Amino acid sequence: MKYRVITIAGLLLCMIAVWGFSGGWFLKRPVAVDATEFIMDTVVSVKLYHHDRKRGEELIAEAFKEALRIERMMEAVKGDGEIRRLNQRDSNGWFELMPELGIVLREAQKYHELSGGAFDPSVAPVKWLWDFEDGGYLPSQSELEQKLPSVGLENVTIHGDSILFLNSDIQLDLGGVAKGFAVDRMIEYLSSHGVESILVNAGGDIATLGKKPAATFFGAESDWVIGMRHPRLNRTIVLKWNPYPAVATSGDYQRFFMKDGVRYHHIIDPATGYPASKCASVTVWTKSAMLADLLATTIFVLGPGKGVEFAESLDSVETLIYFERNGNVESVMSSGIEGRIGI
């Protein structure tokens, strides 16, 4: 029996040949590609790693188009899509929903019921009385009382991809869930085109996929490092431990105005028509950006005690809540992250 000895020189020749046929692909390190755009009234940034920078840039551009498509569909005030069409209906009865809108509204209805009404996209008529864009407008009690009877997702029936309005005054605003849904769709689009390392951040609604590639051939992959803003101090809290691929923060410092020493912000309590006052910020970790977005808003309305209790009742959900008491900022968190998050 004859044996063929492969010399080092022969091995190198084989590697060179493979490199030639593959275009040198296996020797290329994935490069970081990132871009930022203003979509859904917030800054949306995407960072990914790809072996081909130009192709990575093309994919990010397509992902932004996907976010714009979702914005057009779900934006209630400025958009010209499905939510605007539903809100401008001139009759009640059943209306057909686009499948993606059906997904979001069914999820909204589910957590509306689970939270006892704390999450309610039908708060729109009350929410729109406030103006957080142009210096702020404080509606009168009579204005709020006039619109509050129009609030209540229990007056909406969703069956499959159809919706029934039982109250002719019901209007919908998906500001508490649409951004997260768009982030998930961007991740799905990029993943479906072979990207394995991604971070998308839409104004604090964040989702990641995979890990960051090693800086060298012999290095190790690393986790994405995410930062969150302290609600009162001018500093960023670095979250080096992220139990789930999605995280979202709702805060009273994001869109607000001050009047007579009182902070009025955009997270409205559906029960009162006023900004929810029990929390300063809520961060939620879970499996999808849509759910993280939705739950951050829900827990903000519920407040620290009920909010942690609600998070504990759900699978694969963790939360960190900042709130003010006697002029001091305090925090409380779900049991799954106690001792793991430096605050």
Total-model pTM: 0.89
Shared domain check, 335 and 231: yes
Amino acid at 242: N
Structure tokens given for 69: 């498509």
User: Per-block average pLDDT, block size 10, for the chain (343 residues)?
Assistant: 51 49 57 96 96 97 97 86 92 89 96 98 96 88 96 94 92 96 98 97 96 75 86 83 90 92 95 96 97 98 98 96 94 89 70
Q: What pLDDT was estimated at residue 186?
A: 98
The range of the structural domain enclosing residue 103 comes to 82-165
Q: Is 107 part of a structural domain of the chain?
A: yes
Separation between Cα atoms, residue 150 and residue 129, nearest integer Å? 13
Domain match, 145 and 216 both: no
**Domain-located, residue 275:** yes
Q: What's the confidence (pLDDT) of residue 25?
A: 45
Asked whether residue 217 falls in the same domain as residue 301, the answer is: yes
> What CATH number is associated with residue 108?
1.10.3980.10
* pLDDT of amino acid 342: 67
pLDDT of residue 136: 86
Residue 19: its pLDDT value, please?
Answer: 45
Q: For 315, what's the count of Cα atoms within 13 Å in the CB-facing half-sphere?
A: 0
**What pLDDT was estimated at residue 24?**
45
How far is the C-alpha of 313 from the C-alpha of 237, rounded, in Å? 26
What pLDDT, on the 0 to 100 scale, is given for residue 238? 80
User: Angle CA(21)–CA(23)–CA(29) in degrees, nearest 5?
Assistant: 135
Same domain? For 267 and 341 the reply is yes
How many domains does the chain divide into? 2
- The pLDDT value recorded for residue 218 is 62
Alpha-carbon distance of 170 to 216, in angstroms, equals 56
